Structure 1
Amino acid sequence: MTAPVASLGMYDHPGQRAANDALWLAIARHLRGAGIAAPDVLDRDRPVEAIWRDPDLLLAQCCGYPLVADPDLALRVIAMPLYALPDGPAGLHYSRILVRADDPAATLASFAGRRAAINAPLSNTGANLLRAAVAQVASPDGFFGATIVTGSHRASIDAVACGQADIAAIDAVTAAVIARDEPAALIALRELARTPTAPNLPFVTARTTPPAIVAALRQALLAAMRDPDLAPARAALLLADIVPASIHRYRRLRRLSP
């Protein structure tokens, strides 16, 4: 790698950026100690989708569904995070299906023909898990009357709150962070249901990253999880631990979609 790139953009809300910076500085320091070049700062100038496709990608976090659904995405899974959510199974996440608090509909089936907001068509938490939830009550094909693409979970929350959409599936980690840091954003919403679960978003590197560097990245992530000085950063990110993982853990996500 001539110009290594790093990103922690999947959970990088304003209240988390300092924590991600601290986490990255510790990881980069560990890598340099092993003789591996690492960028000084995280790449926040490009969309995460562009960063995933950078052949010089050293470390990023990736949505699990495009990892297995996009054949052009050449990534290698390094590890999987565990999050400190009181109602989340270890290693698994889900989405909270949110609607307006004053909407009288009581079931997911009642939203047939209504407007859904998704952050991206290949998002696991925003689109794939929502389809999986709908498939439990009806055929997901054409279930919603319209679907708008907002670009982020945060924007999907606003779309439902202002009436641009009626329903959205919001990543549980994102929802917890917004509830903590921006509670006013959720005042007008309520949880209708929860989606099926899926493996947490993996840490990845370019598929061409040499095995020795992959091993060093795992060690650097583990060291960051054990560093007592990083406890405030981990708390801000809701990070409890990481476990080694491979793409095999994520292949089941294909089966969640029709």
Structure 2
Amino acid sequence: MGHQLAFPMYAVNHADADALRRAVQHLLAARGLAVNDAPGVPETALLAHWQQPDLLLSQTCGYPLVTQLPDVQVVGCFHYAAPGCEGIHYRSVLVTREADKHLTLADFRARRAVCNSPDSQSGYNALRRLLAPVELRDYFAQVTFSGSHRQSLVNITRGEADIAAIDCVTWALLQRHEPTLARGLTVIDRTPLTPGLPLITARETPPEALRTIREALSALVTAPEYRAVCEASLIRGFSAVTRQAYAGLLA
């Protein structure tokens, strides 16, 4: 029987995300780990997907990892080539309309923020930590949740919100694939670096399978035949890391 494999977090371009999944599926199968050929995971079903006992490999966000997923094992983290990334670390960009490009975050007190989700590191927790100890709801006149980084940008463009923290990898991918979406928007600041989106496997995955997954991901980022697949998804490396790397997200 096969296991679940998905890369749901940066699927801005579905063809590129599917190519990445198929490449990893091939590398795992070559090492004796069968994977189900499953469809994409809807955003509304992500938490259930991450908790499946037959999950072989998926990608989650650091904040739900430390707040809602105590039992999954961390496989590692990709290195991304997007501006703002360094090794396994990434950051968020603070995006607003071009008309507000001269402002700083302090100028947005009592204005409207939009976040993709309350369990997002890049869209919610990163912004929250910038303003701590003040809570978002006390700093901004309004805090809304859009459901996705893409929709947050749409809301700002429409004038329904004034500022958002956007994952820098998502921002780079959207600029590549949907350049009109960023038209009229600008980056006014960046958040501090934090560990990037963790790759995870189920608690039930045995140690030998975990080692095999890490070997396959290392091969993905080094084998010439997968260079185009990685470049399309802005992936340029992989490091094996543990849950401990994400402990600071709760500070």
**What TM-score do the two structures reach when normalised by structure 1?**
0.90
> Does 1:102 pair with 2:95?
no
Once the two structures are TM-superposed, the CA of residue 50 in structure 1 deviates from its matched residue by 2.6
Q: Pairwise CA RMSD of aligned residues?
A: 1.8
Q: 3-state SS of the aligned residue for 1:9?
A: coil
Quote the Cα distance in structure 1 between the aligned partners of 2:201 and 2:237.
19
Contact kept, 8 Å, 2:91 with 2:168, in 1: the verdict is yes
Once the two structures are TM-superposed, the CA of residue 158 in structure 1 deviates from its matched residue by 0.5
Contact kept, 8 Å, 2:79 with 2:86, in 1: the verdict is no
Show the counterpart of 1:233: 229
Contact kept, 8 Å, 2:84 with 2:168, in 1: the verdict is no
Quote the Cα distance in structure 1 between the aligned partners of 2:102 and 2:113.
14
Contact kept, 8 Å, 1:6 with 1:58, in 2: the verdict is yes
> Does 1:216 pair with 2:205?
no
Pairing 1:40-79 to 2, within 5 Å after superposition = 40-45=37-42, 47-70=45-68, 72-79=69-76
Once the two structures are TM-superposed, the CA of residue 30 in structure 1 deviates from its matched residue by 2.5
Contact kept, 8 Å, 2:76 with 2:238, in 1: the verdict is yes
Residue among 90, 93, 110 paired with 2:90: 93
Quote the Cα distance in structure 2 between the aligned partners of 1:92 and 1:63.
12
Give the unaligned 5+ runs of structure 2.
none
Give the counterpart letter for 1:207 in structure 2: R
Residue among 131, 134, 140 paired with 1:134: 131
> Does 1:156 pair with 2:155?
no
Show the counterpart of 1:180: 176
Q: 3-state SS of the aligned residue for 2:236?
A: strand
Residue among 107, 110, 113 paired with 2:110: 113
- What's the CA shift string for 1:29-77, capped at 9, x where partnerless? 222233222112453356322311222211101101111122x542110
> How many residues matched?
249
Quote the Cα distance in structure 1 between the aligned partners of 2:243 and 2:122.
17
Quote the Cα distance in structure 2 between the aligned partners of 1:159 and 1:3.
40
Give the unaligned 5+ runs of structure 1.
none
> Does 1:196 pair with 2:195?
no
Q: 3-state SS of the aligned residue for 1:98?
A: strand
